[in-house]
Chain A
Amino acid sequence: MDTLGRRFGIRHDPLPNFQRGRFPLAGVVVALAFFVTTGLLAQQPKPSEYEVKATYLYNFGRFVKWPDTVPARKGDSFPVCVLGRDPFGPILDSTLAGEAVDGKPVELRRISKKQDGGECRILFISSAEEKNLKEILTALDESGVLTVSDMPGFTRRGGMIQFVLEGDRVRFEINLASAENARLVLSSELLKVAASVKRSGRSGD
């Protein structure tokens, strides 16, 4: 009832001049359209944990600046890779479909060999690869790949971005030293919204 009242309230709020008077119906139409869209969205189920993680995964790319020395990739795409057993399933495909970062279409690759990881811009490392982590990170050293994972202690062990859960909410931690080692520049905007940021090997908030 309260939201309904507010929705109707918009009709009583004075509208912008171009909407009022010249298009008296326009206000009503806008209000109705708004009502319908918000209504539909409100009925959608809350996105699952991996859905959120999939969205975050490629969006990291938008707040990271890669060094100019990283060679141009094949087909001029923006490869996002998943190493090891894939925890996302088809959600990842649908989330990434049609997205673009820095004007390049996002390309999803599922890989199993750590040697293939050098071709990626963003690499999600499955928790199943925990025992091989050291070798993987070493192999990728200085190759300009943003490493992401949800395995515990990822950032502590040299990973760059680690998903953490605060209750229902998906957040992430950043190891800025690892990123700087790989000559990646992370936007202050990204650091601002991180749950915590480790600088120079020390953990800190």
Chain B
Amino acid sequence: MSARQDNSISRKLTWMNMLVSGAALLLACAAFIAYDMLSFRASIVRNLSTQAQIIGSNSVSALVFNDQQSAENTLSALKAAHNIMSAGVYSKDGKLFSWYSRDPGGHVPEIPSLPSGQLQIHWFRNKEVVLVRAIVFEGKPTGTVYIQSDLEELDSRLQRYVAIAAIVLSVCLLAALLVSALFRRAVAQPIIQLAEVARAVSREKNYSVRAVRTRGSGELTILIEAFNEMLAQIQENEKSLREARDDLEQRVKERTAELEKAKKEVEDFSFSILRAKEELERGSKFKDQFLSTMSHELRTPLNAVLGFSELLTEERYGTLNERQQRYVKHIHTGGNHLLTLINDILDLSKIEAGRLQLRFENVSVAASFAEVIDTMRPLADKKSQTLLQQAPPDLSVRADPTRFKQVLMNLIGNAIKFTPEGGEIRLTASQVDQAVRLEVRDSGPGIPVKEQQRIFEAFYRLGETDKKTEGTGLGLAITRRLVELHGGSLGLESQPGSGSSFYFTVPCAEVVATRKVPVSRKEMQAADFARILVIEDDRAAALLLQSYLTSAGYDVVLCDQPGGALEMAAELQPNAVTMDIIMKPINGWELLSTFKTDSRTAGIPVVLVTIIDQPATGASLGADEYIVKPVKKATLLGAIERCLNQRTHIGQRRPILVVEDDAPTREFVAELLSKHGYDVITAADGAEARSRVATSLPELVILDLILPEISGFQLLAEWRTNSRTADLPVFVLTSKDMTPQEQAYIRTHTGMLLHKQQPWQETLIAQLRRTLPGVLSEKS
């Protein structure tokens, strides 16, 4: 290693010397040789030209007097010139006159004619030079001389030069080698010594050695002195560093001990945090489980209470006296209130826990208004309040339809509650940029400024001391959260004494095209559920009727032109027709009589829906049902159902299987189904359901998911994998709060998913009608 490094710098110096002198010499030699070769070539041509001239002038007479012998004698003199390979004399017409060739067997070339004005041309080719010269005698071209010479002389000259150059070069390099040896002693040796010392210092960490100083005062001497000085400084620094390090070591030891202690504390602390977090997570999990259980456990008995009290009021199983009637009503009202309270609490908990998932779609504001007002009108009627609404017909919002209506109902409910008798409540909608602003304004007493902020808090009730109003105190809190989940905000403007206004915004949806009357008869016949034609020239009223009927599973066609109604009905052949009386240009009475006299439409049942209270006139003209506006949904659906049942004559089919572990609920569902004309069998748990389906395939299954031992999910999976039951229609009716994955699974594998916490009876019946259009039995 040492030897190699020793050699490194001196070898570089040697190489440098050799390379520089070698390159200079090579270039000089090459230039000199090239120049000499060029000039030598020129002299060869010159000599050749001279020889050609001599031959030419000596051949003139031979040419003129056609004496070839003489010319050959002249040419044979060239034997003395060894470089001439061949030569020839040509007559002026280009014919060969005489020829000389050094080596026997050379071929005689044709002679190229000289360019005019030129006496001689020459050219070099592969190792030879050729010269052609004209013979001019007395100013007249008499013939041509051709002479060809080899370039051996040139070659040997070049070889000589190369040899000389090689010798000079090697001598010079030798000299350079000697010179670099001298340099090495003067320059490289001190540097190598310096490097040796530096290596010793870095290897042995011995800062006390010093480099040997050289004679003289060049940069090298300065370098060595500076190096020695540096070593001295390093030696000193190292000493103080060692002292500092010893001190530092002690301090580091102390600090490490302290840190160890602190670390242990932090570890203990983070462990306790971890445990706290686990506890929290467990708590949150318990809370979720509790919510889910509550929603199931509280609603199941309430559903039974509400369902059966409703059935009792219908007096299907014996009449009730007036007192019983009142008590049952109290039970129903109380139950309803309790259900609202439970729903509110669970809703709020779900919202707070971030578990409420909204299903956004385009929702028509006008239709929602109509539905909400229809629901709330009885409450307002009770207090003789005026309920007004105003909404552009084509306005739609992007919202979860159920939650959107819930918000509206909460606000209207509040307004009805806090507005004295005879007051006015106004519901308006208007588009503001890309959002819809909805407002519920009442003529109530207004809200004191200091309470305006607090009323949105949960469990806060306005006028706590005033016990006149009932409520959960959760409505506004839930409403505000729901509006916020829709991307809007809920606000309040109120002045005591001049009413209150609650307003909120929801994002706008694209304008939904209104449904046009389908023209294809074939398409209409393809539909397999009952079709209702609504003849109504008031758009809002028509939309309301449509929403009621659609929600019950009917296919609704609107007709706002009474003039064309007869033809439309004759073509569509709907299962029933609803008809307004006050219409233009033809009023309902006239239209009804044309319907009943036209043979194509006489058989279609007609329900008159009007504000004119003349049922007798209607009956005399042939109307099947008569409803006085404002229309209640139940009334309308009841009337339609009666009309349709007149015409349905379907034989007994297979029954519907109700799988439900809660006995009251099971009985209530069975009762509800048989009330609507369906045959029912029941199963109290999964095992029973399994054997029921195995023995006899039901028409359809209504399945609860939470069952003892075998769950609804399990049953569903079993049925779907069996080819016999793969297509068995299944409706799920449950109070379980499901994850999105569970919901998706249920939606793919069943025909319907119903939640018990929401009103589900009407939806179930409507869906049954769609799925099993002909299973109604005759007994109803």
- Assess whether B61 is in contact with A37, with CB atoms less than 8 Å apart: no
Chain A's closest residue to B131 (CB) is A16
Given that A10-B110, A33-B113, A192-B62 are known contacts, is A38 also in contact with B70, CB under 8 Å in the complex?
Answer: no
Q: Does A30 contact B (CB under 8 A)?
A: yes
Q: Which residues of A contact B138 (CB under 8 A)?
A: 62, 100-102
CA distance A193 to B69 in the complex (A): 8
Q: Does A189 contact B (CB under 8 A)?
A: yes
CA distance A33 to B112 in the complex (A): 10
- Assess whether B122 is in contact with A187, with CB atoms less than 8 Å apart: no
Q: Does B530 contact A (CB under 8 A)?
A: no
Given that A15-B112, A30-B112 are known contacts, is A38 also in contact with B65, CB under 8 Å in the complex?
Answer: no
Cβ distance B89 to chain A, nearest Cβ, rounded Å: 13
- Assess whether A34 is in contact with B94, with CB atoms less than 8 Å apart: yes
Set A7, A63, A171, A172: member contacting B110, Cβ < 8 A: A7
A52-84: which have CB < 8 Å to B? 52, 56, 59, 62-63
- Assess whether B95 is in contact with A38, with CB atoms less than 8 Å apart: yes
- Assess whether B64 is in contact with A10, with CB atoms less than 8 Å apart: no
Chain A's closest residue to B138 (CB) is A62
CA distance A41 to B32 in the complex (A): 52
Chain B's closest residue to A169 (CB) is B66
- Assess whether B65 is in contact with A56, with CB atoms less than 8 Å apart: yes
- Assess whether A30 is in contact with B123, with CB atoms less than 8 Å apart: no
Set B93, B109, B122: member contacting A38, Cβ < 8 A: B93
Set B109, B123, B124: member contacting A10, Cβ < 8 A: B109
Q: Does A113 contact B (CB under 8 A)?
A: no
Given that A37-B93, A62-B137, A101-B138 are known contacts, is A14 also in contact with B61, CB under 8 Å in the complex?
Answer: no
Q: Does B125 contact A (CB under 8 A)?
A: yes
Q: How many residues of B contact A (CB 8 A)?
A: 25
- Assess whether B62 is in contact with A16, with CB atoms less than 8 Å apart: no
- Assess whether B95 is in contact with A62, with CB atoms less than 8 Å apart: no
- Assess whether A59 is in contact with B65, with CB atoms less than 8 Å apart: yes
- Assess whether B109 is in contact with A13, with CB atoms less than 8 Å apart: yes
Cβ distance A15 to chain B, nearest Cβ, rounded Å: 7
Cβ distance B777 to chain A, nearest Cβ, rounded Å: 112
- Assess whether A193 is in contact with B67, with CB atoms less than 8 Å apart: yes
Q: Which residues of B contact A17 (CB under 8 A)?
A: 123-124
Cβ distance B4 to chain A, nearest Cβ, rounded Å: 57
- Assess whether A34 is in contact with B61, with CB atoms less than 8 Å apart: no
- Assess whether B113 is in contact with A16, with CB atoms less than 8 Å apart: no
Q: Which residues of A contact B112 (CB under 8 A)?
A: 10, 15-16, 19, 30, 34
Cβ distance B204 to chain A, nearest Cβ, rounded Å: 75
Q: What 0/1 pattern do residues 49 to 87 of B give for CB contact below 8 A with A?
A: 000000000101110111100100000000000000000
Chain B's closest residue to A26 (CB) is B115
- Assess whether A16 is in contact with B123, with CB atoms less than 8 Å apart: yes
CA distance A43 to B64 in the complex (A): 21
Q: Does B715 contact A (CB under 8 A)?
A: no
Q: Which residues of B contact A38 (CB under 8 A)?
A: 93-95
Cβ distance B64 to chain A, nearest Cβ, rounded Å: 5
Q: Does B181 contact A (CB under 8 A)?
A: no
CA distance A190 to B123 in the complex (A): 34
Q: Which residues of B contact A169 (CB under 8 A)?
A: 66
CA distance A190 to B61 in the complex (A): 6
Q: Which residues of B contact A14 (CB under 8 A)?
A: 123, 125-126
Chain B's closest residue to A6 (CB) is B110
Q: Does A87 contact B (CB under 8 A)?
A: no
Q: What 0/1 pattern do residues 399 to 431 of B give for CB contact below 8 A with A?
A: 000000000000000000000000000000000
Set A13, A37, A100: member contacting B94, Cβ < 8 A: A37
- Assess whether A30 is in contact with B113, with CB atoms less than 8 Å apart: yes
Q: Which residues of A contact B130 (CB under 8 A)?
A: 16
Chain A's closest residue to B126 (CB) is A14
Q: Which residues of B contact A37 (CB under 8 A)?
A: 93-94
Q: Does B341 contact A (CB under 8 A)?
A: no
Q: Which residues of A contact B126 (CB under 8 A)?
A: 14
- Assess whether B123 is in contact with A15, with CB atoms less than 8 Å apart: yes
Chain B's closest residue to A191 (CB) is B61
Q: Does B455 contact A (CB under 8 A)?
A: no
Q: Does B173 contact A (CB under 8 A)?
A: no
A10-27: which have CB < 8 Å to B? 10, 13-19
Q: Which residues of B contact A9 (CB under 8 A)?
A: 109-110
The 6 closest A-B pairs by CB, nearest first: A189-B61, A16-B123, A193-B67, A10-B110, A14-B125, A193-B65
Q: Can you list 8 residue pairs at the A/B interface with Cβ under 8 Å?
A: A7-B110, A9-B110, A10-B109, A13-B110, A14-B126, A37-B93, A187-B61, A189-B60
* Contact surface of B with A, Cβ cutoff 8 Å: 58, 60-62, 64-67, 70, 93-95, 109-110, 112-113, 121-126, 130, 137-138
Q: Knowing that A37-B94, A62-B137, A192-B61 are A-B contacts, what are 17 other residue pairs whose CB atoms are under 8 Å apart, sorted by A's residue number?
A: A9-B109, A10-B112, A14-B123, A16-B112, A16-B123, A17-B123, A17-B124, A18-B121, A19-B112, A33-B113, A34-B110, A38-B93, A38-B95, A169-B66, A187-B61, A190-B65, A192-B70
